[in-house]
Amino acid sequence: MIVTALKDIVGTERDISGPGWQSRRLLLASDGMGFSMTDTIIRRGATLELEYKHHLEACYCIEGSGEIKSVMGVEWHPLEPFTLYALDQNDRHEVRAIDGDLRLVCVFNPPLTGSEVHGPDGSYSPQV
């Protein structure tokens, strides 16, 4: 059984951040679950262009409000608490926080190893 409190992750090597975002890695590949789970914050006013070429991702909004759209699309989809989006085709996308910080619980497959940050193209490196 794995029991983890967010307060025990904040400020450790599982607390990773970059311009406009912070990702607290609750579960990692080393935990052996076959997926990873993060508590992620996108800072108010930030717009991130991302493309997880090597991962599938699903995110569940639990706080704040924002929007997401495919880079190829024109329609922004609202994000608010209790809304899920899933990038089931490694979609290149933009996500932005509008009203306060946007807080998401995110699941990645294959699982993150822990220290990943977004590369210049918005993706994480493939797992080794």
Reported pTM = 0.87
Return the C-alpha torsion angle 8, 13, 18, 21, nearest 10: -20
1 pLDDT more than 60: yes
Determine if residue 47 is left, alpha or beta; phi over 0 gives left, psi from -120 to 50 gives alpha, anything else beta. beta
What pLDDT digit, counting tens, does each position of 10-69 carry?
999 999 999 999 999 999 999 999 999 999 999 999 999 988 888 899 999 999 999 999
What the chain holds in terms of domains, given with CATH numbers, is 12-109 (2.60.120.10)
Judge contact between 87 and 57, C-beta under 8 A. yes
122 pLDDT more than 80: no
CA separation (Å) from 2 to 30, 38, 62?
12, 15, 22
d(CA 80, CA 61): 6
Q: What backbone torsions phi and psi does residue 32 show, to the nearest 5 degrees?
A: 75, 20
Residue 28 structure tokens: 């990692």
Residues of the chain with pLDDT > 70, as a percent, come to 89
